[in-house]
A and B are shown apart, each in its own frame.
Chain A
Amino acid sequence: MIERIVDEIPRFFTWYNTIFFLQAMGVTLALTLIGCGLGSIFGFALVYGRQTRGRLFTPVRVLIVGYVEIFRRIPFLVLLFIVLFTTEGFGVRVSFFGIALIAICVISTAYISEIIRAGFEAIHRNQWDAAEAMNFGRVATLRYVIMPQAWKVILPPAFAYFVMFIKDTALASQMGVLELTRVAKIFNDRGYSAFLTFGTCLLLYFILSYPLTRFGQRLERRLASSRNR
């Protein structure tokens, strides 16, 4: 087997094959970053909406809780097909990349909003009370008091989730999005050994996720040392 791989390597790592792989890596990265980035923004918005008070906003809160509870429970692959068939059903032409991105946003919004909510709730009630009694509005309370303390609680699970999602984007290959796993499969189908193609694929996933993990750890340390408790 080793001989076969050694024999294949020069043929495998040609200029065009390498570019093809790197492009796929770019797609995986784009799906993860855009999906989780938008998911963080929308997730924050959901938490903000969920914290509204008064009867007037009850429907908003019910919708948000329903959204979060449903989409945290649907497997990513199932959601991919739901988005695919829904867009087709409405006659909307969306690229496979677009469909994967929509599905990722839908799920990451639900997950990340829960991570952010848990972070906010870890901050003692008396911090909100003190801010409110001093006439802080909700935005000012979040900005000056809650967020600086909640970061530390939010970041570790958020980064764990981002890294997990890099891997989950592999499921988009099932639909034909040309991301890492799909491209590895294509090479495998062309006759390159599975060890070589998926081994390369594995290495590239590691190269993607390891820096993200390290970045998360550094951010944690920096925020932790800025005296939050």
Chain B
Amino acid sequence: MPHLEIADLSASYEKGVDVLSGIDLQVERGEILSLIGPSGSGKSTLLRVIVGLLPPDSGRMVVDGTPVNFHDKRSLRDLRGRCAIVFQQYNLFQNMNVMRNVTIAPTKIKKRAAASVRAEAEALLEKVGLGDKHDAYPDELSGGQQQRVAIARALALKPEILLLDEVTSALDPELVNEVLDAVRVLAGEGMTMVVVSHEMGFVREVSTRVAMMDEGRIVETGTPEEIFDRPSAGRTRDFVAKILRG
């Protein structure tokens, strides 16, 4: 049974203008699936649907054998309890320091004991290399540091599925690697991940499978070798050629 299964799913921000159409996707447990494709192809939108921020217009999504009802609060809560997303713009809470950003959802929303949450948060921040920044506020941190806090915050939710939405796109080039290193550590731990990225070297290195998207559709899926070395769809060939050349 796939960990995440999406069938014939369409979604739009405005009625009649499909941003996603007829998406079919299966992600196995422990798999790292990367979504690649040109800007506006619907990659980030697909992540927003998966985490329940955008209800799809049609289609099915099944997580761990349970169908998701996007119009039922309890079903959505359950979905968001299993998934966590890291946004391109980090989206850290500006009014909270690093520690509070990481601990607020586990303590206030999941109602877990503060002491154990804090201990976990300390370990997570250590893991992303920010063990000395507990009391810093987001506007005192570099983009790379903020993004690593965002990753720690997502992990503090103990998600089964981690969604990464262009986590390095907003960063200065010299900060990209510190974030990718943090993700590499996770990739080695067997967590199911869906990753949107323009860092093709990184995608190739960590992904177990790659899906190429264009104009709201999945054009082709395959192993990184298949997609990058022997793409079958014309669209994929063009995109990969352009990216690798650039």
Residues of A within 8 A of B (CB): 126-127, 129-136, 140, 144-145, 148-149, 226-229
* Most chain B CB within a 10 A radius of its CB, from A132, A133, A135, A149: A133
How many residues of chain B are within 8 Å of chain A by beta carbon? 24
If A126-B87, A145-B95, A228-B94 touch, does A133 touch B108 (CB 8 Å cutoff)? Answer: no
If A126-B87, A126-B89, A140-B109 touch, does A135 touch B80 (CB 8 Å cutoff)? Answer: yes
- By a CB distance below 8 angstroms, the chain B residues around A228 are 94-95
Majority secondary structure of chain B interface residues (helix, strand, loop or mixed): loop
If A133-B51, A136-B109 touch, does A149 touch B95 (CB 8 Å cutoff)? Answer: yes
Cβ contact within 8 Å between A130 and B108: no
The number of A-B residue pairs with CB atoms under 8 Å apart is 56
- By a CB distance below 8 angstroms, the chain B residues around A134 are 80, 84, 105, 109, 157
Say yes or no for B185: interface residue by CB 8 A criterion. Answer: no
Cβ contact within 8 Å between A130 and B93: yes
Task: Report B55-98 residues with CB < 8 Å from chain A CB.
Answer: 77, 80-81, 83-85, 87, 89, 91-95
B148 to chain A, nearest CB (A): 15
Cβ contact within 8 Å between A133 and B84: yes
- By a CB distance below 8 angstroms, the chain B residues around A144 are 93, 104, 108
Say yes or no for B144: interface residue by CB 8 A criterion. Answer: no
- By a CB distance below 8 angstroms, the chain A residues around B105 are 134-136
A57 to chain B, nearest CB (A): 14
Cβ contact within 8 Å between A127 and B80: no
Cβ contact within 8 Å between B91 and A127: yes
B8 to chain A, nearest CB (A): 24
Say yes or no for B53: interface residue by CB 8 A criterion. Answer: yes
- By a CB distance below 8 angstroms, the chain B residues around A127 are 91, 93-94
- Further pairs besides A130-B92, A135-B109, A148-B95: 17, Cβ < 8 Å: A127-B94, A130-B91, A130-B93, A131-B93, A132-B53, A133-B53, A134-B109, A134-B157, A135-B80, A135-B105, A135-B110, A145-B95, A149-B94, A149-B95, A227-B94, A227-B95, A227-B139
**Chain B: which residue is nearest A228 at the CB level?**
B95
Complex: how many Å from CA A226 to CA B52? 32
Q: 9 nearest interchain CB pairs?
A: A130-B91, A148-B95, A126-B91, A134-B105, A135-B80, A149-B95, A229-B94, A133-B51, A227-B137
- By a CB distance below 8 angstroms, the chain A residues around B77 are 135
Complex: how many Å from CA A38 to CA B89? 38
**Chain A: which residue is nearest B105 at the CB level?**
A134
Complex: how many Å from CA A145 to CA B93? 7
- By a CB distance below 8 angstroms, the chain B residues around A148 are 95
Cβ contact within 8 Å between B52 and A133: yes
What are 27 of the A-B contact pairs (CB < 8 Å)?
A: A126-B87, A126-B91, A127-B91, A129-B87, A130-B91, A130-B92, A131-B93, A132-B52, A133-B80, A133-B83, A133-B84, A133-B85, A134-B84, A134-B105, A135-B105, A135-B110, A140-B109, A144-B108, A145-B95, A149-B94, A149-B95, A226-B95, A227-B94, A227-B137, A227-B139, A228-B94, A229-B139
